[in-house]
Structure 1
């Protein structure tokens, strides 16, 4: 089922960037006051600014400005699960996390990598 993560409406994405984004810059990109909204997964930063779900008041705002790898693997929106650590997750949750990476990579521009991140593949 290669197409299961395809967006319903085709998305024109920019070439991925690997600009360093400091953890402080990432934290500021939380969609507050109409600003940029980024979510990182395994240290890769995606620009989710256009999706209301990640904006303040949205269902996924808990992920905004953070590396949400662990929470995505666990399919959790609990603030305590939002963490870059994912390597100790069970295989099934790691697989879910990889599905989320596929999902994000087909919908959102990669704007950089978290500076100093150690949670890449």
Structure 2
């Protein structure tokens, strides 16, 4: 017997139809396991809100109407209260404050329209006439907003050097 003859028998015994089928299945399984997967698409989050300066007129558009965000100002800080749209947006109990400076109304525990500044081009309400109880009310509201909502800007009067240009 020659030494080449046993190797031929081994090669012939490996190349049987069942081994070819099993090898093909193994290659196919490996391919399906390591093949490139379709990229996972994550849901898009809300657009980022950039801290900016508002005037009473530019803040007014953020009143929640037509799906707009709901912002309100307290002592010069503008809060995004959109997560509380059912309270501050259209139809909510505090809707008068949406897109406005709510400081005086919150200090007086009054949600009436007469608490809002009528002249949007005039100076901001300095709240100098508030008594200690009213000021405490206002500070408590401001703290509540600070804990719950994002500060997205500051409120300045029309004509202020920091006021956005039209």
Task: Please classify the TM superposition score into its range, dividing by the shorter chain length.
Answer: 0.7 to 0.9
Q: Distance in 2 between matches of 1:22 and 1:93?
A: 24
TM superposition shift of 1:18: 5.0
Higher helix fraction: Structure 1 or Structure 2? 2
What SS does the aligned partner of 1:20 have? strand
Q: Distance in 2 between matches of 1:87 and 1:70?
A: 10
2:78 to 45, 53, 61: 45
After alignment, is 67-76 or 83-92 more displaced? 83-92
Q: Number of residues paired by the alignment?
A: 102
**What TM-score do you get using the length of structure 1 for normalisation?**
0.77
Structure-1 residue corresponding to 2:142: 101
1:62 aligns with 2:96: yes
TM superposition shift of 1:22: 2.8
- Structure 1 runs of 4+ aligned residues shifted over 3 Å read none
1:80 aligns with 2:121: no
Report the RMSD for the aligned CA atoms in angstroms: 1.8
Q: Deviations over 1:64-111 (max 9, x none)?
A: 000010000000011101245322111110111011110000000000
Higher strand fraction: Structure 1 or Structure 2? 1
Q: Distance in 2 between matches of 1:115 and 1:98?
A: 19
Structure with higher Rg: it is: 2
Return 5+ residue gaps in structure 1 as ranges. Answer: 1-16
Q: Deviations over 1:25-78 (max 9, x none)?
A: 200000000101101001110000111111100000010000010000000011
Q: Distance in 2 between matches of 1:33 and 1:103?
A: 27
Q: Distance in 2 between matches of 1:23 and 1:62?
A: 14
Q: Distance in 1 between matches of 2:105 and 2:55?
A: 21
